[in-house]
Chain A
């Protein structure tokens, strides 16, 4: 099977072409403001480099940080109407109460509390009031809002009210995107509502971005299947991704860490992915990123997604280097994708980390003659500062005293001078495009979500049955059976149903069948 993995980052768009487990070609192209031009460029380059054509490619996997960045940078976000079905309960804390003020303002802080919602045992808090919802629809229409997020209390137990309200608002507000919280999150009202609202504010953008991907692939003559990667390292098809862009959050770090494990053949390590603007640091256990166990924030908003425990520091190949009275300062500001015009070595006028490394003879890039005027002492101090920043973040990511190796990947890897924190340093082949490799090897998943009556079978038997079904679903979705693993098991007792009913959710993932 020939596959292409693409990673659309804030600075570069990377692409790799793989035949089975072999990387045949890996390329980097600058990310373009319209996304599509950069993707087309990367696709053309990788096909040319592998001396093949698009019709030979079986499948394309795309990882993108576009949606995370949109939230973090507060750009291209659509105003959202957050509708909570709850009254009289939950009025103490309105939607978006725990959000950073600037993000709340960008979305317009439009929220409505309406009747509806369920108790923990399925009883109704209050009946849905169609008149009330139509009144809310009038207000949403008058404000010109085109995306609505609906969250009902205890919708993971009973999603009926969300569906009904979605239909009522959908009829009253044609051409409006509707996001239902039960489709995205689990128990925990504020976190699930947050995820639904973030999804809603990205719906316009997701249509545009997925269309751009589709266009870019058509442009190079690819007509096969294409997928986007999710935060858990598995794939979703394009139509699904368009509806649930929020599920791509944090897929970038997952891809780079899995790519690093794949390229180096090392399963337990600390991974430092140095990009143009930031470095992501996390730890790898048995080839998978370590998961965060506490609530993870995205752009300052609390969510209950399962995400890799990765943190970012403002250090990349395009980071600004500024000398001042308090010593030399590196980052967090960066020239980003404008490095090709603004860095000194490319004829620009901004001193970046890449200029420092090239001037010191650490890499061959651009025109070294343009750096001849740089002061040697400054170069040394800047390199020391970069080394300190890397050491600091690796120490932070270490989870034990064990001397784990450090795998460095990403286009900014030239910043690394030698071993970090005294640990073994691994710079795998194709390190610059590890993200794209991670996307290309992303797995497929199978999920089961059903209610078992434990009066009729034991809990263990129910879990075993669900695990077996999830495994079969993963295999049906294209996973190789011997690679399938159970990654998530959750059972929620439904006290309101007779027969000791329990809702079981199991997720299985495996590698996409190759060849």
Chain B
């Protein structure tokens, strides 16, 4: 088996930072997931990160995730057994052993949750995920574009409830799982999208977990050398700086289990006199300046602290913060007609066509 790297408890610091950058403002603060992963790695040993191409075609691979509103996860932490409960229960439903753990979403808290299961089970973790970023809904994965069903799926909560879903489409899985998640108190943990090694090789956005680690390492190194962390990050990601400004207003509402809202920034330095509006639905989805759309989903829009390059989540936006907005192109799988239909601006009820960000 070709092991890309062994991930120990210290490496989780870098991965959590990288996960927050790919989280594009959402996916939840990885801090809680990082602490859980570190606890599991200290108890069971380091995690083997494996190239997806190394999987046997008939291997069974299962992604695990946390689902719910980001603010809920920073306040109501998991009970602790939910992830392994969901993983083992899905194994029972499938009637066979799972061979490898997969990451559903490399952005936010879910960049770290698969490490808990990989460490606890001793199974390898695939270096890749189903998004290359973060998204608010369960069907928004490249797995869907390849016809993989989200079910059978197991959803577990902190009270010990578990739910097995069999649905007719991934959109239905999202609707039913979302309703259950809200009932469960706004956050739940799940194992879903069971797939073969052969399918995983086509459907996985490869290399995203090691990219998370490199993002963390890059920011850390830039700060240690006193060079510009934002520039180092822009270079690593092939991104562009959209805006530099200060938050003048944040409007939030919680709707159907999502943190929706918009933030308005007023420009400083080269952007003086301009304003930027960021629309978010857990993640930053649209960046618009004075009526002109600068970038939209599925391209990635990340907001970082202007001086340190530290990623800022939509739920930690505060009045007066000085921030920089960056954008870079998404994985090509998202730019297909099917991808745009699944995660383009119109899906999120914004009246814009997708214009690729280059």
Contact = CB atoms under 8 A, between A and B. Distances in A.
Contact of B226 (A125, A396, A489): A396
Contact of B252 (A89, A98, A493): A493
B305 A90 contact: no
Interface string A106-137: 00000000000101110101000000000000
Nearest to A500: B253
Contacts of A290: 322
B95 interface: no
Contact of A92 (B77, B159, B307, B318): B77
B186 A89 contact: no
Contacts of A98: 31, 35
Nearest to B244: A400
Interface in A303-317: 306, 309
A429 interface: no
Interface stretch (B48-56, B68-76, B138-146, B199-207): B68-76
Interface stretch (A13-21, A28-36, A186-194, A439-447): A186-194
A190 B310 contact: no
A338 B160 CA distance: 59
A125 B75 CA distance: 13
Contacts of B76: 86, 89-90, 117, 119-120, 125, 153-154, 189
Interface in B249-306: 249-254, 269, 305-306
A105 interface: no
Nearest to B159: A88
A123 B312 CA distance: 29
Contacts of A489: 249, 319
Interface string A307-345: 001000000000000000000000000000000000000
B253 A493 contact: yes
Contacts of A88: 79, 158-160
Given A189-B75, A294-B308, A120 B69 contact: yes
B74 A189 contact: yes
Contact of B320 (A154, A487, A493): A487
User: Most chain-B CB neighbours within 10 Å: which of A294, A309, A488?
Assistant: A294
A91 B79 contact: yes
B180 interface: no
Interface string B50-87: 00000000000000000001011011111110000000
Give the contact-size bracket for chain B. Answer: 35 or more
A514 interface: no
A76 interface: no
Contacts of B250: 491
A92 B306 CA distance: 34
Contacts of B186: 119-121
A91 B75 CA distance: 12
B254 A92 contact: no
Nearest to B310: A294
A464 B78 CA distance: 38
Contact of B305 (A121, A190, A293): A293
A89 B78 contact: yes
B241 interface: no
A121 B306 CA distance: 34
A294 B223 CA distance: 15
A459 B185 contact: no
Nearest to A454: B253
Interface in B16-66: 31-32, 35-36, 39
Nearest to A489: B319
A495 B31 CA distance: 25
A98 B185 CA distance: 25
Interface of B: 31-32, 35-36, 39, 69, 71-72, 74-80, 158-160, 185-186, 226, 249-254, 269, 305-308, 310, 312, 316, 318-323
12 contacts: A88-B159, A90-B78, A92-B80, A123-B185, A153-B75, A153-B76, A154-B75, A187-B71, A189-B77, A190-B35, A293-B322, A493-B252
Given A92-B79, A123-B185, 11 more contacts: A89-B78, A89-B79, A90-B78, A91-B79, A93-B32, A121-B186, A290-B322, A291-B321, A490-B318, A493-B254, A500-B253
Interface of A: 86, 88-93, 97-98, 117, 119-121, 123, 125, 153-154, 187-190, 290-291, 293-295, 302, 306, 309, 392, 395-396, 399-400, 459, 487-493, 495, 500
